[in-house]
A and B are shown apart, each in its own frame.
Chain A
Amino acid sequence: MKWTVGTKIAAGFGLTLMIFLIVGGFSYHTTIQLIEVSDARKHTSDVLTQLTGMLSLLTDVENGDRGYVITGEESYLQPYHAALARLDPLRNMTAGNPHQQQRLHVLEPLVKNRVAVASANVDARRTKGVQAASAIIKSGKGKAFMDKIRKVLGTMQSEEEAILQTRVDRAETEAQNAKAIIVLGTLAALVLAAITGLIITRNIAGPLRQLTAVAERITVGDLSGSLPATTRGDEVGALARALERMTQSLRAMAAAAAQIASGDLRSALKPQSPDDIVGNAFARMSDDLRAQIGALAEGANVLGASASEIVASTNQLAASASESAAAVSEATTTVEEVRQTAQVANQKARLVSDSTHKAAQIAQTGRKAADDVVAGMNRIREQMEEIAASMVRLSEQSHAIGQIIATVEDLAAQSNLLAVNASIEAAKAGEHGKGFGVVAQEVKSLAEQSRQATSHVRAILGDIQKATSAAVMATEEGSKAVAAGTGQTEKAGDSIQALAGSVSEAAQAATQIAVSSQQQLVGVDQVGGAMESIKQASTQNVTGAKQLESAARNLNELGQQLRLMVARYQV
Chain B
Amino acid sequence: MIDESRAASTPDNREILRARARVLARPPQSIPAAETSLEVVEFRLAQECYALETRFVNVVYPLKDLTPLPCTQPFVLGIVNVRGRITPVIDIKKFFDLSDMGLTDLHRIILVRGNGLELGLLADVIVGVRIIPVDSLQASLPTHTGICDNYLKGMTAERLVVLDMDRILADPQILVHEEVEN
Q: Chain A residues in contact with chain B, CB under 8 A?
A: 413-414, 416-417, 419-421, 423-424, 427-428, 437, 440-441, 444
Question: Which of B2-10, B57-65, B96-104, B170-178 contacts the other chain?
Answer: B57-65
Tell me if B62 and A420 are in contact (CB < 8 A): no
Query: Which of A413, A416, A417, A427 meets B54, CB within 8 Å?
Result: A427
> Which residues of B lie under 8 Å from residue A421 when comparing CB positions?
59-60
Bitwise, B16-42 to A at CB < 8 A (1) or not (0) is: 000000000000000000000001010
Measured CA separation A20–B118 after assembly (Å): 223
Considering the complex, give the chain B residue whose CB is closest to the CB of A444. B128
Give the nearest-CB partner of B56 in chain A: A424
Cβ–Cβ contact B62 & A414, under 8 A: yes
Q: Classify the secondary structure of A's interface with B.
A: helix
Contact check, A424 vs B57: say whether CB atoms are below 8 A apart.
yes
Kindly list chain B residues whose C-beta atoms are within 8 Å of the C-beta of A416: 126, 128
Residues from chain A with a CB closer than 8 A to the CB of B57 are: 424
Q: Report B-chain residues with C-beta under 8 Å of the C-beta of A428.
A: 54-55
7 nearest A-B pairs in the assembled complex, by CB-CB distance: A423-B129, A427-B54, A420-B60, A420-B126, A421-B59, A424-B57, A427-B39
Within 8 A of A (CB), among B56-114: 57-62, 108
**Do A424 and B60 have beta carbons less than 8 Å apart?**
yes
Interface size on B, residues (CB 8 A): 14
Q: Are A417 and B41 in touch, CB under 8 angstroms? A: no
Measured CA separation A53–B54 after assembly (Å): 220
Whether B61 pairs with A420 at a CB distance below 8 angstroms is: no
> Which residue of the partner chain, among A413, A414, A419, contacts B128 with CB atoms under 8 Å?
A419
Q: What is the bound-complex CA distance between A419 and B58, given in angstroms?
A: 13
**Nearest Cβ distance between residue B103 and chain A, in whole angstroms?**
18
Residue of B55, B58, B128 with most chain A CB atoms under a 10 A cut-off: B128
Q: Which of B57, B58, B129 has the most CB of A within 10 A?
A: B129
Q: Are the CB atoms of B61 and A417 closer together than 8 Å?
A: yes
Query: What residues on A are CB-neighbors of B61 within 8 Å?
Result: 417
**Is the pair A423, B128 in contact by a Cβ cutoff of 8 Å?**
yes
Q: Do residues B62 and A413 form an inter-chain contact, with CB atoms below 8 A? A: yes
Determine if B126 and A427 form an interchain contact, defined as CB atoms under 8 angstroms apart.
no
Q: Are A424 and B54 in contact (CB under 8 A)?
A: yes
A417 in contact with B62 (CB, 8 Å): yes
A444 / chain B contacts, CB cutoff of 8 Å: 128
A414 to B129, CA, bound (A): 15
The distance in angstroms between the C-alpha atoms of A420 and B54, with both chains bound, is 10
**Distance from B33 Cβ to chain A, minimum over Cβ atoms (Å):** 13
Q: How far apart sit A440 and B39, CA to CA, in the bound complex (Å)?
A: 15
CB B126 to nearest CB in A, in angstroms, measures 5
Q: Which chain A residues border B58 with CB–CB below 8 Å?
A: 424
Q: Which residues of B contact A419 (CB under 8 A)?
A: 128
Residues of A within 8 A of B54 (CB): 423-424, 427-428
Chain A residues near B41 (CB-CB < 8 A): 420, 424
Q: List 22 A-B contacts (CB under 8 A).
A: A413-B62, A416-B126, A416-B128, A417-B60, A417-B61, A420-B41, A420-B60, A420-B129, A421-B60, A423-B54, A423-B128, A424-B41, A424-B54, A424-B57, A424-B59, A424-B60, A427-B39, A427-B54, A427-B129, A437-B129, A440-B129, A444-B128
Task: With both chains docked as a complex, state the minimum distance between the C-beta of B27 and any C-beta of chain A, in angstroms.
Answer: 15
Cβ of B32 to closest chain A Cβ, rounded Å: 14
Which residues in A have their C-beta under 8 angstroms from that of B62?
Answer: 413-414, 417
| Chain A residue nearest in CB terms to B34 | A430
Excluding A414-B62, A424-B41, 9 further A-B contacts by CB distance (< 8 Å) are A417-B108, A419-B128, A420-B41, A420-B128, A420-B129, A423-B54, A424-B60, A437-B129, A440-B129
Measured CA separation A383–B41 after assembly (Å): 57
- A420 CB contacts on chain B under 8 angstroms: 41, 60, 126, 128-129
